[in-house]
Amino acid sequence: MYVLLVTGIPVVFVSALEGKGRIDVIMQQVIQTYKKWCLRLSTAHRHNRWLRKVMSRHYWKDVAGQPKVKYFTQVKARPPAFVAFVSRKTLLDTDLRFLIRSLKEDFDMMGGIPVRILQRAVVPKSKSSFLCALIS
């Protein structure tokens, strides 16, 4: 059975022959999943506190040259989408998967809900002012 190979998706077993599983149980699971899909986390301050906690658990906290996430905010619900403002380079796929898994665990977003994290580069102020001076 292939359904059991998919992780994070709630499964409700129903059998008309055995009389198992009622429509109210199915609809209750549908409503819970929809609420998670519509989830909007409260404030950017909460996101950044969470980010600092997660970064302290992850290996990139002390690695030189590794891109750092400076700021983290939610930009969309349905499905939840976040923007990570990253220094210099983009994050590795493993780092993105770690952030998504941590988000799902810490904010109870399990249940097959896709979470998207977009990346934006943060340019240091000294370089941006230098570039502006060159352009003008």
Buried b (16+ CB within 10 A) or exposed e, 42-54: eeeeebeebbeeb
Domains of the chain: 1-136 (3.30.300.20)
For position 68, what pLDDT does the model report? 80
Tokens of 94: 């493993």
Q: Which two tokens stand for residue 89?
A: 């380079």
Tokens representing residue 124 in the block: 């240091």
Average pLDDT per consecutive 10 residues, the chain (136 residues; last block may be shorter): 60 80 84 85 78 78 71 86 84 86 81 84 65 46
The DSSP 8-state label assigned to residue 70 in this structure reads E
pTM of the complete model: 0.72
